[in-house]
Amino acid sequence: MAFDSFSAFIAMEGHGPYVWACYAVFFVLMVAMMAGSLRSRTAIIESCRRRYEFQADKGKVATAPTSSASFARVNVSQD
């Protein structure tokens, strides 16, 4: 579809306002989604950092580390 001038391109034979409004809504929604994603990512990273620091501080309070496994030597006979 060829247009004679830039104003004809903008008007698009009467369909211009609808087309350009759709493009505007699309780009506004894309920017809003990107901003929301960045805010969500930042909040998640901050939450993980706070949880990590809390667990690290909690580990410092413990009096003595306890072992979760014990090892005993087992003699296996080769009969």
Assigned domain for 31 exists:
yes
Is 1 within the bounds of a domain? no
- What's the confidence (pLDDT) of residue 78? 79
Number of domains in the chain: 1
Q: How far is CA 5 from CA 52, 66, 70, in A?
A: 61, 80, 84
Pair 10, 16: CB distance under 8 Å: yes
Q: Is residue 53 a part of any domain in this protein?
A: yes
Residue 44: the pLDDT is: 94
In a domain, 66, yes or no: no
Q: What are the pLDDT tens digits along the chain (79 aa)?
A: 688 899 998 998 889 999 999 999 999 999 999 999 999 999 999 999 999 888 888 766 555 556 677 777 777 887 6
pTM score, two decimals? 0.57
pLDDT of residue 30: 98
Report how far residue 52's alpha carbon sits from residue 18's, in angstroms, rounded to the nearest whole number: 51
CA-CA distance, 26 to 32, in Å (whole number)?
Answer: 10
Residue 10 lies in a domain: no
52 located within any domain:
yes
